[in-house]
Amino acid sequence: MVRRFRGEYHQKVDGKGRVSIPALFRRVIEAGDPDWSDGQRPNLVIVYGTERQKRLDCFTMQAIEEIDRRIDRMKKGSVERKMLERIYHGHSFPTQVDEDGRIILPAKLRDKLELDDAAFFIAAGDHFELWKPETYDAEERAKADAWLDEQDEDFDPNLLLPDLPDEP
């Protein structure tokens, strides 16, 4: 069974770039690492992407392997494949959660986001996003508010969900 990330959290970042992964997120990271067992450090991949990306996308090993399989299905040599390989392979950082439930964000990644002493984690299903709290509030919350303002007052988000195929 695939486990999904859920929830949002504000976490402190120390001067060495260490940040605690929320406990519920750690359980999903562990479940999504086929090589993990009790007493070991679970692996994950942080995709920092292009300069335009203002967040870090953090994937379990299973989730990043699914992306890799999808990239592998693309035509070799195509511009699209090269770009996705660059983003997901080249602009990524494999890491582990330490015994205290933290990851260390290298200075390059902290600088990219302009992270100081706080980080904002938000679930995105098969991965979670890590933001500078002020950037998330200014940009993503504003986008969500603008979109919601376009909806009817009695808007039900469930109406957007497609029907599931009938199961035998």
Q: Where are the domains of the chain?
A: 8-150
Residue range 107-126, pLDDT digits in tens: 999 999 999 999 999 999 99
167 band by pLDDT with thresholds 50, 70 and 90: low
Mean pLDDT, rounded, for 101-106:
96
CATH topology classification for 8-150: Chemotaxis protein chec (3.40.1550)
The reported pLDDT for the residue numbered 142 is 87
Q: How high is the mean pLDDT of the chain?
A: 94
Q: Strand 118-123: give its sheet, edge to edge.
A: 8-12, 118-123, 127-131, 56-60, 43-47, 92-96
pLDDT at 19 exceeding the cut of 90: yes
Instruction: Specify the pTM.
Output: 0.89
